[in-house]
Amino acid sequence: MSEEYINKKIVVKNATKIFGKSSSRAIQMLKEGKSKSEILKATGATVGVKQVSFDVNEGEIFVIMGLSGSGKSTLVRLLNRLIDPTMGQILLDGKDIVQMNKEQLRDVRRKKIGMVFQNFALFPHKTIVENTEYGLEIQGVSKKERNEKAVESLRLVGLAGYEDQYPKQLSGGMQQRVGLARALANNPDILLMDEAFSALDPLIRKDMQNELLQLHHDMQKTIIFITHDLDEALRIGDRIALMKDGEIVQIGSPEEILMSPSNEYVERFVEDVDLSKVLTAGHIMKKADTVKIDRGPRVALRLMKQLGISSIYVVDNANRLLGAVTAQDTLGAIESEKTLNDVLISDLPMILPDTVLTELFDVVSTANIPVAVINEDQKMQGIIIRGALIGALSGDNDFINKDGTMDSTEQHTEVK
């Protein structure tokens, strides 16, 4: 194993799959840089996956996303050679599986890679526990041991007690849990999940995503997750590879994909994403102008005049939010010799930075002054003004902070 592969669980180099005859001519054209449709026209061969290279880190959830026909399902099948690549290298822990003979490949499939399928692919003639222990059964593991492992695996996915039922007796969500348990029972390092949740209805799908994240957190498997659903990709992916016409168009973290699409295709792909569910208060908050409570009403009023605002937030010495004062009240306080404390409005709407925008609408629309964003320690993080909320929803990047926070030292470069 050479240096560069340390911590790289999977390295794919130039993987290509061409379906159909005359693939040698197609390869030639591919090397000349011809497009998929040109090759189809000239040779009749379909390029399923076109010179794809990427690597997956150990313990990462790597999402491959694309529309149907983009080659993502073919690509994932290259990884365990359910489909043989036409050319290229696929290294698992530094070993090229393309070069493996049948026996070595079988061993990799048995020990290293588990797979979960879109339509569950449970064996209808076997009970749940028999399905789960299938991978162990074909390895010749003793009946007792494989039963123990299968039962444990079913417990992990929350299906204890269903061992002796048949797949048909379970709902879709439960069937896919069996699919997951079956893949986990072998204790593989890598899980391939081919549109695993796409056949489930939205609520169940969300539950399954959460559970997958929990399982991933507990077990630290490397997961390759295929989906056509951007929301799903953004939710669970550590990194996302976006595919189009058999090629990877962009690889990056969900933030990078969303905030700096590398080309028009990615942009069009992400423009449909429901931003209100992805962006958080942290993404759209602006720097707050505050006044310390012991500075008194005159300072507060002066600040408001300078900034041209009609109200200002009041914090204590530790930058903890106490409340806000309006210009009118502050003026009154100066005239009647009162302190800021006397005119402080303390029942302000306050939210945490990771609140998603959908949950903000109500608060922002009813508030008279900008909504304060605070952290768990009551410290002032920023404010949200209506204009920024609407601007961000329209996809205007000027209103969006790239990394979802607004670090005080970098805020001006972050907020473009």
Partner 1 sequence: MDELLPRLPFADWIDTGVDWLVDTFGTGLDGFADVLEGVVEGSVDILDLVPSILLAFIFALIAGIISTRKIAFFSLIGLLFIDYLGYWFPMLQMLTLVLTSVMFALVIGIPVGILGSQKAGVRKVVNPILDLMQTMPAFVYLIPAIFFFNIGVVPGVVASVIFAMPPTIRLTMLGIQQVPKDLIEATEAFGSTTWQRLFKIQIPLAKPTIMAGVNQSIMLALSMVVIASMVGAPGLGEEVYRSVTQLKTGVGVETGLSIVIVAIILDRVTQYAGNRKKKLGGNTL
Q: Name residues contacting partner 1, limited to 10-39 (CB under 8 A).
A: none
Q: For partner 1, which stretch binds (CB under 8 A), given 110-118, 150-158, 205-213, 216-224?
A: 110-118
Beta pairing class for 371-374 and 350-351: parallel
Beta pairing class for 222-227 and 61-66: parallel
Calpha distance 321→313 (Å, rounded): 7
Orientation of helix 327-335 relative to helix 296-307, angle to 10°: 140
| Residues contacting residue 416 through CB under 8 Å, at least 6 positions apart | 397, 398
Q: Which is nearer to partner 1, 134 or 399 (CB)?
A: 134
Give the nearest distance from C-beta 194 to partner 1 in angstroms. 9
Q: For partner 1, which stretch binds (CB under 8 A), given 36-44, 45-53, 108-116, 398-406?
A: 108-116
State the Cα angle at 252 between 248 and 256, rounded to 5°: 125
Q: Which is nearer to partner 1, 108 or 278 (CB)?
A: 108
Q: Which of 27, 39, 98, 113 binds partner 1 (CB under 8 A)?
A: 113
Orientation of helix 172-185 relative to helix 202-219, angle to 10°: 20
Give the nearest distance from C-beta 384 to partner 1 in angstroms. 47
Task: Map residues 79-98 to x or -, x wherever contact with partner 1 holds by CB under 8 A.
Answer: -x-x----------------
Q: Which is nearer to partner 1, 139 or 328 (CB)?
A: 139
Calpha distance 242→196 (Å, rounded): 17
CA distances from 96 to 55, 57, 189, 190, 393 (A): 13, 16, 16, 15, 45
| Residues contacting residue 58 through CB under 8 Å, at least 6 positions apart | 7, 8, 9, 189, 222
Task: Map residues 124-163 to x or -, x wherever contact with partner 1 holds by CB under 8 A.
Answer: xxx-------xx-xxx------------------------
Give the nearest distance from C-beta 172 to partner 1 in angstroms. 14
Give the nearest distance from C-beta 125 to partner 1 in angstroms. 4
How many Cα atoms are found within 13 Å in the side-chain-facing hemisphere of 293? Answer: 18
| Residues contacting residue 315 through CB under 8 Å, at least 6 positions apart | 290, 291, 292, 293, 321, 322, 380
Calpha distance 143→211 (Å, rounded): 29
Q: For partner 1, which stretch binds (CB under 8 A), given 17-25, 59-67, 113-121, 217-225?
A: 113-121
Determine, following the binding rule CB under 8 A, whether residue 169 of this chain makes contact with partner 1: yes
Give the nearest distance from C-beta 170 to partner 1 in angstroms. 10
Q: Which is nearer to partner 1, 139 or 260 (CB)?
A: 139
Q: Where on the chain is the footprint of partner 1 (CB under 8 A)?
A: 80, 82, 105-110, 113-115, 117-119, 121-126, 134-135, 137-139, 165-166, 168-169, 182, 186, 192
